[in-house]
Structures are given as C-alpha cells and as structure tokens.
Amino acid sequence: MTYRIGNASGFYGDRFDAVREMLEGGPLDVLTGDYLAELTMLILGRDLMKDPTKGYAKTFLRQLEGSLGTAVDRGVKIVTNAGGLNPAGLAAAIGELADRLGVAVSVAHVEGDDVRDRFDGFLTANAYLGCWGIVEALNAGADIVVTGRVTDASLVVGPAAAHYGWARDDWNALAGATVAGHVIECGAQATGGNFAFFTEIPDLLHAGFPIAEIEADGSSVITKHDGTGGAVTTETVTAQLLYEIGGPNYLGPDVVSRFDTIRLAPAGPDRVSISGVEGTPPPPEAKVCLNRLGGFRNSTTFVLCGLDVAAKADLVKRQLTERIGSDGVTWSLGTVAHDDPPTEESASALLHVTIKDADGKRSGRVFSQAAVELALASYPGFHVTAPPSDATPFGVYSAAFLPQQAIAHTVVLPDGRRVEVTPPAQTAATEPPASVEPDGEPVATSRFRIGERFGARSGDKGGDANLGVWARTDEDYAWLESTLSSALLKQLLPELAELQVERYPLANLRAVNFVVRGLLGEGVAASTRFDPQAKALGEWLRSVEVSV
C-alpha cells in the first residue's frame, strides 16, 4: 500500500501554519519538517552559546503545541531535524509539552552528528548522518523522531525504509526515496514556489506543501493535498531536482543516487511520478558542516542620483577609504540609473559597501561615524538607504570529511535505550565528476532572452553556487546541450568570468546543471555579494539576451 510522506517546513522560518494544514488537509502516514541549512547551524550555534538548553528550532515546538493531538489522533508519525544542535533538548521539551497537553506520545531522538571534538576552533561541526537511526526509532515504536544534522532527504528515506523493511543494500529503493526526499525537502518549491514560469501556476497566494507517495520499490508520486494552492507538474519537480546539486551522482551517507537515471511522467492532476532511479553504494566518508565565527561586519548603501555616477562613486570610495582604510572593505555598484528617468528612483544607482574585521573595532563605530560624517561633504545628492548600525558577528562555513566508521551515529529510543547505528558495510570511493562541455557546433539561433525558452533554479552550497537550466522541448534541449557552454555562461553573466564553472548535462531531465566555484566566498553568512545565497542567479541568466 502506498506510503504517504508529507513535508511542512523547508527552512527555519517557513510558514508557521503548515504543520496544522498538512495534518488536517488530508491523509498522511508521516509528516516531516526540514529546519536546517548551513546558515541555520550558525544561528543555532550562537543560540547555544547564550543558553546551553537551547540550540534547537524553537518554532517547531510552538507549531507542535497546536497540532500534537491531531497527529496522535490521526496516527501520523512526525520526523524532523528541528533538533539542530540539541536533539536531546528538543525531545525532552516535546515530552514536557505532551505531558502538559495530556497527550500520550513516544519520542526518540538521533544524535552523534556533533563532531566538534574532532575539529578545534569551530562553533559547530556536524556530520551529515543517514536514515538508519530514524529507522531504528520508528521500528521501536516512536511517534516522533527528532534528529540533528541528517541529510535532508533522510527525513523521507528513514520512514520509507522502516515501513517497507528495506535492507542496507537496497540501493535502487534507497536512491528512489532519496530523490523523492530531495523534491519535497524544500516545501512549496515543489508545488510552484520560486518557479521560473510562476505566472502559469494557479493560486500561489497560499501554495500547498508537497507529499511523496512512496512505493515498495522506491518509486514515488509527488503530489499535494486536494484544494491547496500551487501546482505539481513535471516542471515544478524538475526545478526542485536541479536545486543545490552538483554532478549526476548525488552523494549521501546511505546511497549514491544517480540523477541521470530519474524518469519523470505526469500521473494525473497535481501528480508526477518518479521512477527508474538507480543507486550505488555510498562513499566511505561523510560530509561535515563546519562553522566558525569569522569576525564582525557592517555595511551601508550610498544612493547616487543623476549624472556622473562613476565620478560620484569614485569620490565617496576615496573619502571613506581615507578614513577607514581598504582592508576588509568591498564595494559593489548595483542598479544603474536609467536614461531620461521618469522618477527619482529610476535616476539612481546604488553603491554598496561592506567592511569586515576581526574584533568589530573598525567595522563598528569607526565605520559608521566615517560614513555619516560624509553627509555634507561628498557628492551632490548624498544620502543612504539606511544609516550604518553596530557591527554584527558573521560566520564562515567550510566543509570537511570523516570516515563513516568514525561517527558515533546513535539513536535514543523512547524507553531511554541507546542503540548505536552501524556504518554501511559496503562503500565505494567516488571520483570527482568530470565537467562536460559541448563537443559539437553551437546551434545557430536568432536573438532571444534565455527565460523565454528555458527555466532555471539556483542556490548555494557553502561558498559555491549551482545553476540548473532546463528546456521545455526537445528542440530547445538540443540548443541547450550543444550551445550553452561554461564559456558562454561566463559571457552572459560577467560576474562569473574569473571563477571556475563546471557543467553537467542531465538529458533525462532536459537540463544542464552548472556549479560555480567560489561565487559566495566563505559561505552565505560571510558573503558580501548582492545575492548572498545565489537564489536569483538563475533569474539573472533568464533575463539575458543571447545570439549564437
């Protein structure tokens, strides 16, 4: 019988009412919630520094307060990574909440991802665990499973593996469920949210959250509750499949899922089937997310209105540099003033400046005072979008790897028993994927905007960004595959010109994925880029005209 796994959160701060909406909106077997991202781990790390009893997603506890009884009454299991840096603390808080509400519920939690003892000098160090701790917890009768840093897809793979009794080497089934988990992990992005052709999506005022109906072989259908907004189509699913990926082999601690084997097909209104996914043994090492405090930062934005924008920018740069120096300072000239502008705003350009330092001395009062003191002594029309404030701390992300055998993946069952989860018995070393450039002649075409014929989805992975582009027809995919090279991408998006760009075709999805190394510097929290998470990189590409 089909196993229905829904999602109610794609990030820490997602729609608060989604938990209740998903529980009340239709049948479910499991409800998942993804609250963690690389930036979130830094936020929770700072929370934990202030209060050692915290370090988890407090929002989840408030969401559960109004919905715990509904989940129990309807027999819906809940699996969430809202435990963050303190899954034991959140599990205990849920137990206290259940007692207060008079609801009988069994709670288990997964730990062992915290590996700070292996890495000196970091605020957080968390290994990406797999699904088998979740499996142990559900097999022991847990109604709610709280984890820390597991892979996002593990929140779906774990319940499916427990329900169907998959073995550790059921590679294809595990890979199929991983792909389903990747699709629904980001909530409404699978149901029309952030979709390139968003004007074609009905009722985006309140998009429904996605559901994966998973079968015993790991195949699935992506859908949503009846009567909810948004849409599930092969393209909304394709867009999410291209989100924050690298090469065709999608590495995880339990299985490597081959994205070049995914088959998508319509399966009815708001229903898309996923089948054919092949899996291979996982790598011997698990990825570790590291965050350290990088120092302090401050910023302001000067508005340059009217004529002589370049000269105005040069003047204020020289004035501010004379007062605070150039170390740790970055400048970015944003919007360019229009010709013959009809409004003052359209006559203006924005000059962003950011300063970073180790102790907050230059980036605090020194920077703010220097910027403000220019108000009557700089370019004509001087003003800023908002005055600079106090310096704030920022974090720096990096990745490391540990042998899976070195990680103490542990599940604490509802009765308090601790069970160690054995690492995979079979692993396989993986070679870095080879970037694939077109090997034929570019397809000649008239001039057009990329977005007229192609969709795109982009996002962050540490200091890197990915940009997935998909075609709507076979003819357009022929152009995409043969013509949109890394070199052409750099021409179209000049900010990428000096960066390493890798290219991975996915013919089964009529798509090409690009990975841009180093675009985001030391990660989202430290990035000074205008779009620090590269969320709109794809939309920038779609706005550009091309002619080959």
pTM, two decimal places? 0.95
| End-to-end CA, the chain | 51
Residues of the domain holding 215: 3-288+401-420
Look at residue 498 in the predicted model and tell me its pLDDT: 97
- C-beta separation of 353 from 302 below 8 A: yes
The answer as to whether 430 is a domain residue is no
User: How far apart (Å, rounded) are the C-alpha atoms in residues 297 and 330?
Assistant: 11
* Same-domain check for residues 227 and 115: yes
pLDDT tens, position by position, 445-477: 789 999 999 999 999 999 999 999 999 999 999
Arithmetic mean of pLDDT over the chain: 96
Look at residue 446 in the predicted model and tell me its pLDDT: 85
The answer as to whether 425 is a domain residue is no
- Mean pLDDT, range 37-57, rounded to an integer: 91
* 227, burial (CB in 10 Å: exposed 0-12, middle 13-18, buried 19+): exposed
The answer as to whether 166 is a domain residue is yes
Q: Tokens 């005072």 — which residue?
A: 369
The answer as to whether 315 is a domain residue is yes
* Same-domain check for residues 230 and 327: no
* Same-domain check for residues 300 and 259: no
The answer as to whether 435 is a domain residue is no
How many separate helices (H) and strands (E) can be counted in the chain?
Answer: 15, 26
Q: Report the candidate in 329, 301, 297 with the shortest Cα–Cα distance to residue 386.
A: 301
* Same-domain check for residues 155 and 203: yes
Residue 337 pLDDT class (50, 70, 90 cuts): low
* Same-domain check for residues 203 and 116: yes
The answer as to whether 431 is a domain residue is no
SS3 at position 280? strand
What is the CA 114 to chain-centroid distance, rounded? 20
* Same-domain check for residues 217 and 297: no
The answer as to whether 434 is a domain residue is no
pLDDT tens, position by position, 93-130: 999 999 999 999 999 999 999 999 999 999 999 999 99
* Same-domain check for residues 243 and 325: no
* Same-domain check for residues 409 and 465: no
* Same-domain check for residues 369 and 407: no
* Same-domain check for residues 414 and 535: no
SS3 at position 92? helix
- Mean pLDDT, range 507-534, rounded to an integer: 94
Look at residue 27 in the predicted model and tell me its pLDDT: 97
* Same-domain check for residues 279 and 295: no
* Same-domain check for residues 536 and 490: yes
pLDDT tens, position by position, 192-246: 999 999 999 998 999 999 999 999 999 999 999 999 999 999 999 999 999 999 9
CATH of residue 526's domain is 3.30.1360
* CA distances, 348 to each of 351, 380, 382 (Å): 10, 12, 11
**Does residue 513 carry a pLDDT above 80?**
yes
- Total tally of structural domains belonging to the chain: 3
- Any idea how long the chain is? 548
